[in-house]
Amino acid sequence: MEVLGIDIGGTGIKGAPVNTLDGSLTQDRHRIPTPESATPEAVADVVAQIVDHFNWNGHVGCTIPARVEHGLVRTAANIHDEWIDTQVDNLLSQASGCRVTVLNDADAAGLASMRFGAGRSLDGLVFFITVGTGIGSAMFYNQQLVPNTELGHLRLKGGSAEDYASNRIRRQEELSWKQWAKRFQKYLDRVEFLFAPDTIILGGGISRPQKVKEYWHHLKTRAELIPAELENEAGIIGAAAAATP
Ligand code: BGC
């Protein structure tokens, strides 16, 4: 079947219908810049525009970079504070006229990876870690998602790990790939110390092949470390997979 997947990011809100059997996009994706003041109402309006663009009236899956407990947003590290305590599934369903399922962006990207990407057929304890503006995480045991792990907020160097080792920090502090990898290694060490995963999949912008070759050789893990495959579209695909009835 087809489900419309929508990925709400810091700079763009992207959507496309997804074939939920093989994870392929069935139409070109449509992107609208994230409103400058990304309040729940402003974002809901963009989600409705994406639904209209595809003339959609079926199921919709949507990501958000926050902890989402049964459709209720609980945190807002990199999004507008007004999101906290928003019943986001109801808000987006009302705005779009469709039934919308909402989940954390890293959980969605991880789900896509486990179904259709680098994680397919991987059993045991698998962590999907996405590195961009923030650091997101998704935890799977024998392919089953344990949602909302939020490991980007592990304490590292006196603050949140994502304020020390995200891609945003690499850019802001003009770190070389080697300098950034040294920081990210500390983060991976912490994750391994706490959870001892069998496999760690790295996603987000840093998983593109041209970036991977800059830093991969600086990282060392006990777990098998592999780059994600679906890159930009993982959020859309995972959102659709999560909303498949
Ligand atoms: C948020 C997470 C999100 C991650 C990646 C973090 O700041 O707390 O919910 O998954 O960024 O976007």
Per-residue pLDDT of the chain (245 residues; tens, 9 = 90+): 999 999 999 899 999 999 999 999 999 999 999 999 999 999 999 999 999 999 999 999 999 999 999 999 999 988 999 999 999 999 999 999 999 999 999 999 999 999 999 999 899 999 999 999 999 999 999 999 999 999 999 999 999 999 999 999 999 999 999 999 999 999 999 999 999 999 999 999 899 999 999 999 999 999 999 999 877 899 999 999 999 99
pLDDT at 106: 98
pLDDT at 140: 98
pLDDT at 219: 98
Question: What's the CA-to-centroid distance between 243 and ligand 1, angstroms?
Answer: 20
- Listed as own residue / partner, the contacts of 86-94 with beta carbons closer than 8 Å and 24 or more positions apart are 86/40, 88/40, 88/62, 88/64, 91/40, 91/44, 92/44, 92/47, 92/60, 92/62, 94/44
Domain with CATH 3.30.420.40 in the chain: 2-107+234-242, 121-229
Q: Which atom of ligand 1 is nearest to the CA of 107?
A: 10
Question: What's the CA-to-centroid distance between 78 and ligand 1, angstroms?
Answer: 7
pLDDT at 230: 79
- Please name every residue paired with 156 in a beta bridge, in sequence order, or none if there are none: 159
Q: Which atom of ligand 1 is nearest to the CA of 153?
A: 8
Q: Which residue puts its alpha carbon closest to atom 11 of ligand 1? A: 134
Phi, psi of 173 (to 5 degrees): -95, 5
Distance between CA atoms of residues 185 and 169, nearest Å:
15
Q: Which residue puts its alpha carbon closest to atom 9 of ligand 1? A: 66
pLDDT at 207: 92
Ligand 1 pocket, CB under 6 A: 65-67, 75, 77-78, 104-106, 130, 134, 136, 150, 152, 162
Given CA atoms 77, 79, 80, 86 in this order, what sign does their dihedral have?
negative
Q: Give the class (CATH, top level) of 2-107+234-242.
A: alpha beta
**CATH classification number, 121-229, choose in 2.40.128.110, 3.30.420.40, 3.40.50.920, 3.20.20.70:** 3.30.420.40
pLDDT at 39: 96
**pTM value surpassing 0.95:** yes
Tokens at 241, concatenated: 């997979």
pLDDT at 85: 97
Distance between CA atoms of residues 4 and 239, nearest Å:
8
